[in-house]
Structure 1
Amino acid sequence: MASGLLKGAVLLLVSVLSWLCVYMKGRYTVDVQSLPQHPRSHQPPYPGGTADNLLWFLQVSDIHISRFYDPQRVTDLKQFCTENVDVFKPPMVLVTGDLTDAKTIDRGGSMQYEVEWRTYYGVLKETNVMERTLWMDIRGNHDAFDIPALHSNRNFFRQYSSMGQTGKISYHHAHKTPFGTYSFVALDACLNPGPRRPFNFFGYLNESSLATLQSLADETVHSNMTIWMGHHPTATILSPNPGIKHVIRNGIAYLCGHLHDLGGLFPVMYSMQEGGTLELELSDWMNNRRYRLLAADHDMLSFVDVKLGEWPVVLVTNPKHAMFATPSHEPLGRIRHSTHIRVLAFSPDPIEKVVVWLDGVRFCEASHVEGPLFTCPWNPADYGTGLHTIAVDVSDRKGRTRHQEHPFSVDGSRANISFVQTVILQTDWLVLMKLVFVLVFTAGVLSLPVLRYCSPALPPGGSSLDSVGGAGCGCSRLLELLGISAWCGMMNMSKGAYPRQFVQKWLSRLSLLTKVDQLYYPLFCFGVYIPIGPWFYGELIQGCHGALFMHGTYIAGAYVPGLWSHAYATLQIALFHVPLTVYLAMLLDNHLCHLSHKNNQASNNHAKPRYRLYRQLIGLLRLHGFGVFFLIWQLYSSYWVLVAYGTMSFLICPLRTWSLLLAAWLIYKVRTLPKEKVAHLVR
């Protein structure tokens, strides 16, 4: 029987892993070769030795100007708006959200500070950057903290931003050149109304907002190229069918920020959507001072991410990076027909030398054409198959040097984007959080009635399999039902006896807990309350009271869907409800041991006083240390409700504050259970 279960479990595990691998490959890998080709892929004009059909621009994101922290952000932004804009001379700068920080000094609360917005707009006015380029800014989630409505006087974006003063939230800018029109479409997915943090991380587009974006997309159908920009990555935007990715599918790229660099783990995050649209997340200005240079050269898009103060800045536009080739949105066939390698080199000081290397061999020294463009002749047919490498070494008059290289191909061969980055940017995190919540809720809450009605309890303190009798058989049947018996056998520790004994011991403790009505019903009902009842009520937006549920928030006469709340609920169950259940089971087991006189007091009395005290301290630490830890965590979480939403939310907060009172009451009940109430459990 056990052998059959073991084989079945292994077969099931292999099947699930195989399915998961196939699903992941299909879900996150784009078959670029199957995408339709650009209609002008092999039509002129072709990249040559003249400075035509060339457009470049900049992106910056997550500036986070703060009244409390790091004034150097403002100083460096002024440097960017003067030195960098003067050197690059871009026709537009795309600023993808989180212009201000909007966090209180303790970082727990959030509100809009007019002084931060005045500082941001003051930089734009002081540097005259809006007179030298089109400064296209858009809101991020921090810019929407604590805003009851778009027309509110606390929505400072309307007063202190470049595009906000035009009355535009989402908008389309068509940049016209002698060689075509290039469309830039900004989408605002910030919540409206905008709650205070932390429930303002994800973006949301309702049907009306999505229809507006679709109308903007329709305006771009005759453009040479369409660039979408927004603050939130598409994976963090909730939208109705057909969804935001369907609307922006006409764009060659979607430029965003918001995730910063995930705590330094991912300095760059790029991916490609199913239809071939690139999704390019830019690391933040706040801590990393990163910005992005992009260029459309003969309608092929290239880019490089740069740190402020790094010079020269180098971008090879032909042949373009093979990792970011999008055959549906750009005429990649023009690389095959090109006559010159094309390099953009920028520096505050004149560029002295541009040396090009192909496949590790020095190929040429590029000639200056005009502005930042350097070229040298080449024959693409010499590199007609497979992937190759182009490298460029650039030096300026001050002796500063920059080395830039990337893979390229002439025949459409492709370098793969990082799988991990693709998973981060293309996973539907809202669906994933719901799935994780269901699993944690099932394991932490719905398992309680299973234990109550499907398994008899072991004697209190019972640890020997030989001493459990019928109860041991009951736990064995439950182990078989859950498949744990086979797992224990796989451990191969003392032929599976120790892990099996350990699992049975804990099943018996939890089963004992569920048999006590005074403990079982409050625990189970509180667990069920988490996805159903209101978590807290209070001033979720300054001057506006509302109630927060897992499924959403009711505030300011509006409903905001629950987005981050599923993760919040998962943490509540995993870090409080489950530990509380385990701690109560330990306390109950210990209490019943005392009632049944099975605590081996006699043997302990023969020990020396010093060792007896030592054992007592160790016993207390093992019993109560775990409980102290998760109770402190819950107290800390309750404190942050007070910081973020005020006193009323702290007092009317079943999820956090009231749960502490429930825990204290349950612990008291365990310690004071009279023997007659649990006599039927003590064998």
Structure 2
Amino acid sequence: MASLAISSSAFLPFFLLFFSFFLFLYSADETENAAELVSREFFPMDGDLAWVVQVSDLHLSAYHPERAEELAGLLGSAIRAIRPDLLLVTGDITDAKNRERTSTRQDESEWIQYRNTMETLVKQSGLEKRRIFDIRGNHDKYGVPYVGSALDFFSIHSVSSQFKRLGTIQSVSLVGDDQRYKFLGIDDTMRIGVRGPSNLFGHPTGNRIRAIEAELQHSDNHSGVPFTKVVFGHFPMSFTASAEKGERYEPVFARHSVSAYICGHLHSKFGKQLWRLHTSEVLSHVNKPKTVEQFWEWELGDWKEFRFMRILAIDRGDVSFMDIKLSSTNEPPSDFKTAILVTYPMDSRSMSRVKDHTQQVRNDINALVFSVQPILNVTANILDSSRDFKMVEEIPLQPATDSSKGKPLYHAKWNAENYISSSATRYWLQLLVIDSQGKQTASILRPFSVEGKTAKFSPSWVAFLVFDLQWEEVFHVLQWSNISFLILLLCFPKILNLLMERNSSYQKWAVSVSISSPIVHRKFVFRLFWFLIEGSRVKTLWYAMVIYLIYLLTMPWFWGHATSEKGNIFKLCLSGWRIQSSSGTTTREWLGFPDSMTITLPFMYFIVTPLFLLIYSFSAERSAACFYSSKNTKCSDIQMHFDTGNYRTSLQFYNCTTRSFGCKICAGWLRKALLFASAVIACLHFKFVSGMMEAYGAAPVALSPVVSWVPPLLLASAIIYSTK
């Protein structure tokens, strides 16, 4: 029996590859925590009903002036009719892209455009400017080296900057007769604004999460005054990274009974009704069991293309909202269409909180009716879905007598106990409104539950993919799956190859597999077995792939100006961007994780992985062609092992059935397919490199062989070798 001893030098590449794998796995992520500044504002409100307007993703652009014009015209007229307590602008104020949309940069003209637009909006709407709260989005941080730099135009031209609200947290309180409503705005943009495409996620710090919790805790400590809390930001939770020690917002929001988190970022093209009900187990006291707390997350569609706005109302702690798409058709801007928002009972599909079933049922219907015309009649129709939506009751609503003059609140008393049901979607509500011109407007037909039951909300698969998945975790899975596959692809067949060369019993095992398996399975097992071993037998190409993968795992891919063209030099690695820390000469810090997924995943999945498979394919194709052109010379080693062994009879099956396969190779169809696949990979690589050059400069990318030159050289080498 042959010896199983294998020289240590043969396993040196395996050792280096696994060492690089674990070195990359345990690379440290060093960050600095700056103190979080909180700005606080207090506004009185009439009664205990408040409503605010939210817009997001304005993307005001020097190349699309109509976005700013319609923001002043359409939104200005809408706010004049709605008269909200607050206007919230949740990020991506400017587009920060060139005309071709191939590179990102800050353009001060777009910020001046925004400032002038908001001045016009204030004049047209009558809204007090101090009641406008805007926060940064990732586009507003593109290329900004740090807050307060010459490129930080948000700190100069935003509404928040005009009122010295330059902290990362904005706390806004509306104080009513018996209720208080708190709105917390969070700026989670990157501390160093890397240019796109590597700037996609929100990046909270541990200090910021603790500061948010302190603000929420301060509200909870005022036990004598009911507080309803709403948090607004730019990034959805699915696109928000964890803090340094893995802290996240979700348990904090649930623990302190936040009703809703409202955001933007994803735009309407990714799907409508991007809603998510978060649930978390909360331990309120050591001696008490855990309780399940919930809060809603509601993403708003963009202003950029779809002109969406949101009206969110709080009626004695019950939060409801409606999204409106403003139209810029031939109607004059003053013709704001009548909008109806039922504040109670709430839509059971998006119930802001699950009420205690022991709480007394409210025997009233409240609705806000926003219109530029006087309202003559408001009627609520209640329908029963269990009886084909047959009308159950018709209830007229009257202007609320306890509200101030002109407040658009309509109210009616009803017997809510008549609509107690085990189903949260049995009873549906719709309001009909007639204005002074005789025009009738109907609200959206929606289910309700007087007991506070929440109906099951089922998002579309697109909405689930972009909104329910935690993309930070998905990135980890995708990244390490790819790395593991590549390591297995390189190491496993090479180990089999070494074993086969030194161990005759291994040859017996391989043949026994062919004898004991069914015919179809034998063909697949043999061809896969043969493909892997033959693909890894070209030592020069195999070592080149090992060295290349080690470099990708441990070394920088390229160097460049990740922020502005004149900024500091950054290094892009598989783990993100690496920069020299300002605190010392030897300390390094990482940023942009998992933002770098938009660069690293496409490169690894669509270029590196197909490249390795193609190199194996060319090597295997050459061995097959060589074997069938001459049985006795230039044959593949594995075939020689089989043909010269004692199992010639057992392998006659392969010699017969695979001749047709070899004939096809000789005909050239497989080579043509491989060459076509090579052309596709070359085009994808060219597109990728061109995009990186547009984003971060031509010279840094062109002078980085690992990204620009190694893939085509490896592919060309495999093609040349296969033709010898």
> What is the TM-score when the length of structure 1 is the normalising length?
0.79
Is contact 1:311-1:347 (8 Å) kept? Answer: yes
Alignment partner, residue 152 of structure 2:
155
Q: Out of 217-226 and 87-96, give the one that drifted further.
A: 217-226
After superposition, give the CA deviation of every residue in 1:225-276 in whole Å (9 maximum; x if it has no partner): 1111110112222223432223333221111111113x34345333334231
Picking from 65, 70, 75, the partner of 2:69 is 75
Pair 1:378–1:304, CA change in 2 (3 A):
same
Aligned letter for 2:576?
G
State how 1:267-282 maps to structure 2 within 5 Å.
Answer: 267-274=273-280, 275-282=293-300
* CA–CA distance in structure 1, aligned partners of residues 214 and 325 of structure 2: 36
Alignment partner, residue 347 of structure 2:
321
Aligned letter for 2:169?
S
- Structure 1 position 449 matched with structure 2 position 454: no
Alignment partner, residue 647 of structure 2:
none
State how 1:596-675 maps to structure 2 within 5 Å.
Answer: 596=627, 598=629, 618=669, 620-667=671-718, 670-671=721-722
Aligned letter for 2:547?
C
What SS does the corresponding residue of 1:504 show, helix, strand or coil? helix
Q: How many Å apart are 1:299 and its aligned residue?
A: 1.5
Pair 1:503–1:456, CA change in 2 (3 A):
farther
Picking from 394, 405, 424, the partner of 2:445 is 405
Q: Out of 590-599 and 267-276, give the one that drifted further.
A: 590-599
Aligned letter for 1:635?
F
* CA–CA distance in structure 2, aligned partners of residues 471 and 566 of structure 1: 43
* CA–CA distance in structure 2, aligned partners of residues 228 and 654 of structure 1: 46
Alignment partner, residue 164 of structure 1:
161
Picking from 602, 605, 628, the partner of 1:574 is 605
Pair 1:120–1:273, CA change in 2 (3 A):
farther
- Structure 1 position 202 matched with structure 2 position 197: no
Is contact 1:184-1:228 (8 Å) kept? Answer: yes
What SS does the corresponding residue of 1:204 show, helix, strand or coil? coil
Alignment partner, residue 583 of structure 1:
614
- Structure 1 position 526 matched with structure 2 position 557: no
After superposition, give the CA deviation of every residue in 1:322-379 in whole Å (9 maximum; x if it has no partner): 2233446x78876x44232111111222234322111241412322335222222210
* CA–CA distance in structure 2, aligned partners of residues 556 and 72 of structure 1: 42
Structure 1: segments with no counterpart, 5+ residues = 1-50, 459-468, 486-495, 601-611, 674-683
* CA–CA distance in structure 2, aligned partners of residues 296 and 256 of structure 1: 17
Alignment partner, residue 94 of structure 1:
88
* CA–CA distance in structure 1, aligned partners of residues 306 and 580 of structure 2: 37
Alignment partner, residue 338 of structure 1:
362
* CA–CA distance in structure 2, aligned partners of residues 247 and 186 of structure 1: 15
State how 1:504-523 maps to structure 2 within 5 Å.
Answer: 504-523=526-545
* CA–CA distance in structure 2, aligned partners of residues 442 and 312 of structure 1: 58
* CA–CA distance in structure 2, aligned partners of residues 454 and 478 of structure 1: 16
Pair 1:297–1:527, CA change in 2 (3 A):
same
Alignment partner, residue 233 of structure 2:
230
Pair 1:619–1:298, CA change in 2 (3 A):
closer
Alignment partner, residue 376 of structure 1:
412
Pair 1:416–1:672, CA change in 2 (3 A):
same
* CA–CA distance in structure 1, aligned partners of residues 340 and 196 of structure 2: 39
* CA–CA distance in structure 1, aligned partners of residues 93 and 514 of structure 2: 56
Is contact 2:534-2:616 (8 Å) kept? Answer: yes
Q: Out of 663-672 and 530-539, give the one that drifted further.
A: 663-672
Q: How many Å apart are 1:599 and its aligned residue?
A: 8.5
Alignment partner, residue 176 of structure 2:
177
After superposition, give the CA deviation of every residue in 1:279-309 in whole Å (9 maximum; x if it has no partner): 1111111111111111111111111111113
Q: How many Å apart are 1:507 and its aligned residue?
A: 3.7
Aligned letter for 2:351?
A
Is contact 2:275-2:296 (8 Å) kept? Answer: no
What SS does the corresponding residue of 1:220 show, helix, strand or coil? helix
Alignment partner, residue 193 of structure 1:
192
Picking from 254, 264, 273, the partner of 2:261 is 254
Q: How many Å apart are 1:175 and its aligned residue?
A: 1.9
After superposition, give the CA deviation of every residue in 1:457-488 in whole Å (9 maximum; x if it has no partner): 99xxxxxxxxxx986953885999xxxx8xxx
Q: How many Å apart are 1:455 and its aligned residue?
A: 5.3
Q: CA-atom RMSD, angstroms?
A: 3.2
State how 1:531-550 maps to structure 2 within 5 Å.
Answer: 531-542=553-564, 543=566, 544-550=568-574
Is contact 2:497-2:537 (8 Å) kept? Answer: no
Alignment partner, residue 265 of structure 1:
271
Aligned letter for 2:104?
S
Is contact 2:260-2:298 (8 Å) kept? Answer: yes
Q: How many Å apart are 1:184 and its aligned residue?
A: 1.1
Structure 2: segments with no counterpart, 5+ residues = 1-45, 281-292, 328-335, 384-389, 401-405, 582-588, 632-662
- Structure 1 position 389 matched with structure 2 position 449: no
What SS does the corresponding residue of 2:689 show, helix, strand or coil? helix
State how 1:547-558 maps to structure 2 within 5 Å.
Answer: 547-555=571-579, 557=581
State how 1:415-426 maps to structure 2 within 5 Å.
Answer: 415-418=455-458, 421=463, 424-426=466-468
Q: Percent identity?
A: 23
What SS does the corresponding residue of 1:203 show, helix, strand or coil? coil
What SS does the corresponding residue of 2:213 show, helix, strand or coil? helix
Give the total of aligned pairs.
585
Is contact 2:199-2:596 (8 Å) kept? Answer: no
